[in-house]
């Protein structure tokens, strides 16, 4: 009876049904191909014996179609973990997902939420093939086409975009400058003169984009040593040290020294259990605002590899006092889509929440907060 009432469980049911249909089509196609090819029938009698011998050499015989299916059904380990976790949580606490669905402020956000949940259910079983049954808002081929025709000037190892020369990769630059990942026009965007907190600044792509939008000050937090070095170089090269302030610290819910897995490729994260990686200084946003004497905080962007909730916990005073607009990643942990919106609404009950996804995979789902 509850199943009929739960919106989240209906999404799970639809996801599972579509996965079953997809696999059944593959199964029927496989049977059809086998029935047409007599040679395959004959070879299949001997395949087990041949493979037993070849296994000594770490080799294996399989049909081309089977190999192609296995190749296409690739999984990102973190994505699979997160997707299975989302499925488990939805089955266990469907009412929590129903509650989140209802708090979004427009139909587009609710539609994005529906896709988010169904895609992850499918990803748990199909991996990247899940996009064939639940198309993402942006198809990878379309993104490739955008990048192919994008007039990005290359000067050695630098990318020229928006009038700035950045030492970075094309994809993060495109996400910030072309896809406008951290902007919902008319609902939640950086205004001229804003004081911005860029949590997880990487090499400065979003910081420079915020600057192009007229931001007065951007405080760019990036604890990864390699990324921070390139961030600092980009700021110096473009002569904007008075606008973009690089900070080699991690935002967290406590002040102190913490272990940090530094990858240098945008997937670095805090890890209290890791003792073999670099130790970095962690600060709360509240302590930073107080120490630096910031007159206000107008916009907070967070993409900190799963530590978003901890950062918000360390920013309670600032959020209550300044009521900033926010763009927060909610795709890293299975529970993020539930815990982060609920935490924000406790701080600002009147806030309007929007959900956006402007990428081709299960990553880059952003929660936008309009406090006013």
Predicted local confidence at residue 1, as pLDDT: 43
> Cα 161 vs. chain centroid, distance in angstroms?
23
Q: Calculate what percentage of the chain has a pLDDT beyond 70.
A: 79
DSSP for 3-61, written as a single string: HHH-HHHHHHHHHHHHHHHHHHHHHHHHHHHHHH-HHHHHHHHHHHHHHHHHGGGT---
344, two tokens: 């924000």
pLDDT band at 262 (very low <50, low <70, confident <90, very high): low
Q: Would you state the pLDDT for residue 148?
A: 80
The pLDDT value recorded for residue 266 is: 47
Per-state percent for the chain, helix, strand, coil, to nearest 5 = 50, 15, 35
In this structure, the number of other CB atoms found within 10 A of the CB of residue 291 comes to 10
- pLDDT for position 43: 52
**55: confidence class by pLDDT, cuts 50, 70, 90:** low
Q: What is the mean pLDDT of residues 220-245?
A: 96
Cα(300)–Cα(61) distance, rounded to whole angstroms?
53
Report the pLDDT averaged over residues 52-76: 57
Q: Closest by alpha carbon to 167, among 155, 152, 179? A: 155
Q: What is the pLDDT of residues 39-49, one digit of tens each?
A: 555 555 555 55
As given in the structure block, the two tokens for residue 154 are 């290359």
pLDDT surpassing 50 at residue 273? no
Pairwise CA distance, residues 286 & 318, whole Å: 6
Report helix, strand or coil for 343: helix
Candidates 3.10.620.30, 3.30.1950.10, 2.60.40.10, 3.40.50.150; CATH matching 152-370: 3.40.50.150
Q: How would residue 279 be classed by pLDDT, with cut points 50, 70 and 90?
A: confident
The residue count for the chain: 372
Q: Where are the domains of the chain?
A: 2-36+73-132, 152-370
**pLDDT-derived band of residue 158, with 50, 70 and 90 as boundaries?**
confident
Give percent of the chain above pLDDT 90: 66
Confidence of residue 271 (pLDDT cuts 50, 70, 90): very low
Question: How do residues 82-99 score in pLDDT, each as one tens digit?
Answer: 999 999 999 999 999 999
Q: pLDDT: is 321 or 280 the higher one?
A: 321
Determine the pLDDT at residue 201.
96
Q: Report residue 124: phi and psi, to 5°.
A: -60, -25
pLDDT value, residue 272: 43
Residue 166 near residue 173 (C-beta atoms within 8 A): yes
- The answer to which of 42-51, 277-286, 344-353 has the lowest mean pLDDT is 42-51
Give the C-alpha separation, 194 to 204, whole Å: 17
pLDDT at 36: 55
What is the Cα–Cα distance from 271 to 86, expressed in whole angstroms? 22
Tokens describing residue 350:
């009147």
**Got the DSSP string for 239-276?**
T-TTTEEEE-SEE-SS-EEEEEE--SSS--EE-TT--S
Contact (Cβ atoms closer than 8 angstroms) between residue 309 and residue 316: no
Position 2 pLDDT exceeds 90: no
Q: What is the pLDDT of residue 274?
A: 38
Q: Looking at the predicted structure, is the pLDDT value of residue 254 above 80?
A: yes
Higher per-residue pLDDT: 36 or 260: 260
Residues ≥6 apart with Cβ < 8 Å to 223: 248, 249, 250, 260, 262, 268, 280, 281, 282
pLDDT at 269 over 50: no
* Distance from C-alpha of 255 to C-alpha of 134, rounded to nearest angstrom: 42
Q: Which residue has the higher pLDDT, 77 or 211?
A: 211
The whole-number average pLDDT for the span 179-208 is 96
Helix (H) or strand (E) holding 164: strand 164-166
d(CA 242, CA 322): 22
pLDDT of 78: 87
Confidence band for 264, pLDDT divided at 50, 70 and 90: very low
Of 37-41, 115-119, 161-165, highest mean pLDDT: 115-119
pTM: 0.84
**pLDDT value for 265:** 44
CA distance readout (Å), 160 to 152, 163, 170, 203, 229: 6, 6, 10, 14, 19
Instruction: Report the half-sphere exposure of 136 (CA within 13 A, side-chain side).
Output: 23
What's the mean pLDDT in 157-168? 89
Mean pLDDT value across the chain: 86
Largest CA distance in the chain: 79
């Amino acid at each position: 009876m509850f199943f009929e009432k739960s919106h989240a469980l209906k999404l799970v049911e639809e996801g599972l049904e579509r996965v079953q249909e997809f696999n059944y089509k593959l199964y029927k196609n496989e049977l059809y191909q086998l029935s047409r090819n007599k040679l395959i029938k004959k070879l299949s009698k001997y395949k087990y014996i041949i493979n037993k011998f070849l296994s000594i050499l770490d080799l294996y015989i399989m049909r081309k179609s089977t190999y192609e299916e296995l190749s296409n059904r690739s999984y990102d380990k973190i994505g699979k973990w997160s997707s299975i976790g989302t499925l488990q949580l939805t089955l266990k606490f469907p009412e929590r997902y129903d509650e989140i669905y209802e708090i979004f402020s427009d139909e587009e956000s609710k539609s994005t939420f529906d896709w988010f949940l169904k895609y992850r259910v499918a990803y748990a079983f199909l991996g990247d093939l899940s996009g064939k049954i639940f198309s993402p808002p942006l198809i990878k081929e379309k993104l490739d086409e955008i990048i192919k025709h994008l007039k990005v000037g290359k000067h050695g190892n630098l990318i020229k975009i928006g009038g700035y020369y950045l030492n970075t990769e094309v994809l993060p630059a495109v996400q910030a400058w072309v896809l406008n990942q951290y902007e919902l026009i008319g609902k939640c965007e950086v205004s001229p003169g804003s004081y911005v907190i860029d949590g997880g600044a990487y090499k400065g792509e979003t910081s420079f984009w915020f600057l192009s939008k007229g931001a007065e000050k951007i405080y760019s937090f990036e604890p990864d040593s390699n990324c921070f070095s390139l961030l600092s170089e980009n700021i110096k090269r473009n002569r904007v040290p008075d606008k973009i302030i690089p900070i080699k610290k991690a935002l967290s819910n406590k002040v102190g020294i913490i272990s940090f897995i530094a990858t240098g490729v945008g997937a670095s994260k805090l890890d209290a259990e890791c003792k073999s990686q670099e130790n970095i200084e962690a600060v709360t946003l509240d302590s930073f605002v107080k120490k630096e004497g910031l007159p206000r905080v107008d916009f907070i962007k967070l993409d900190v590899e799963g530590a978003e909730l901890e950062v918000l916990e360390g920013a309670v005073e600032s959020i209550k006092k300044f009521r900033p607009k926010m763009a927060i990643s909610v795709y890293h942990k299975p529970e993020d889509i539930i815990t982060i919106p609920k935490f924000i609404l406790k701080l600002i009950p009147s806030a309007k929440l929007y959900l956006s996804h402007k990428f081709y995979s299960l990553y880059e789902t952003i929660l936008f907060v309009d406090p006013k």
